[in-house]
Chains A and B, each alone.
Chain A
Amino acid sequence: DAGVTQSPTHLIKTRGQHVTLRCSPISGHKSVSWYQQVLGQGPQFIFQYYEKEERGRGNFPDRFSARQFPNYSSELNVNALLLGDSALYLCASKIRGENMNTEAFFGQGTRLTVV
């Protein structure tokens, strides 16, 4: 069975550009969350989507946005990229979104480098 898949695995962008990261959850999972992991730090929560609705938002600027599609896949968009946006972006999927006692499965991440 396929796990959580993220694309692309790596990309390099220039300051000021826009980027779209994609995530496909495990089949049957309806919740997708996004985390940012800066080098040397733990992951920081950005968004959670469940049943195509935003259920939670972390402390990130409005340059960050996301959406979930009818097939439960998700996109994370970042506008006006800054050097500080360079990080590993992780996607996590769960069967349901309302209880954290259900396991979150993480993808391998997208490594974004802003130059």
Chain B
Amino acid sequence: AQSVTQLGSHVSVSEGALVLLRCNYSSSVPPYLFWYVQYPNQGLQLLLKYTTGATLVKGINGFEAEFKKSETSFHLTKPSAHMSDAAEYFCAVSSSGGSNYKLTFGKGTLLTVNP
């Protein structure tokens, strides 16, 4: 079975500060990892994904994430927060085999950006 743990249900940063959202996963097979963003009353938008290859993944809106197999982590970062980054962020895992038809999501982290 696969699972995702997002540390911190709420993260608050100042505009211009570093954003760090933490995600740890559990998977018995090589994982595919995703970060999605959800704005109020909206669906989910893919920020970035890791499948194979380079462990540092760059996404949209200046976000990036690094896959660390030894730490079973896939933390999301952005060097400088913008007010428009305020949203809920979800980390998700799937796999290259087995339950490869579904995404398993974490509980989400609400990001607040203060002026």
Q: Is B45 an interface residue (CB 8 A)?
A: yes
Encoded as 1 (CB less than 8 Å from any B CB) or 0, chain A from 98 to 115 comes to: 111101111111000000
Chain A interface, DSSP helix/strand/loop, else mixed = loop
The A59-100 residues at the B interface (CB cut-off 8 A) are 90, 92, 97-100
Between A and B, how many residue pairs show CB distances below 8 Å?
66
Q: Is A55 an interface residue (CB 8 A)?
A: yes
Report 24 cross-chain contacts, Cβ distance below 8 Å, ordered by A residue: A40-B107, A42-B4, A42-B92, A42-B108, A43-B90, A43-B103, A43-B105, A44-B105, A45-B104, A50-B101, A58-B102, A90-B44, A97-B101, A98-B100, A98-B101, A100-B32, A100-B96, A100-B102, A101-B49, A101-B51, A104-B46, A105-B46, A106-B36, A108-B42
Instruction: Contacts A97-B101, A105-B46, A108-B41 known; list 11 others, CB within 8 Å.
Output: A4-B43, A41-B108, A42-B107, A42-B108, A45-B102, A56-B99, A101-B49, A101-B96, A103-B49, A106-B45, A109-B43
* B residues with CB within 8 A of A: 4, 32, 36, 41-46, 49, 51-52, 90, 92, 94-96, 99-108
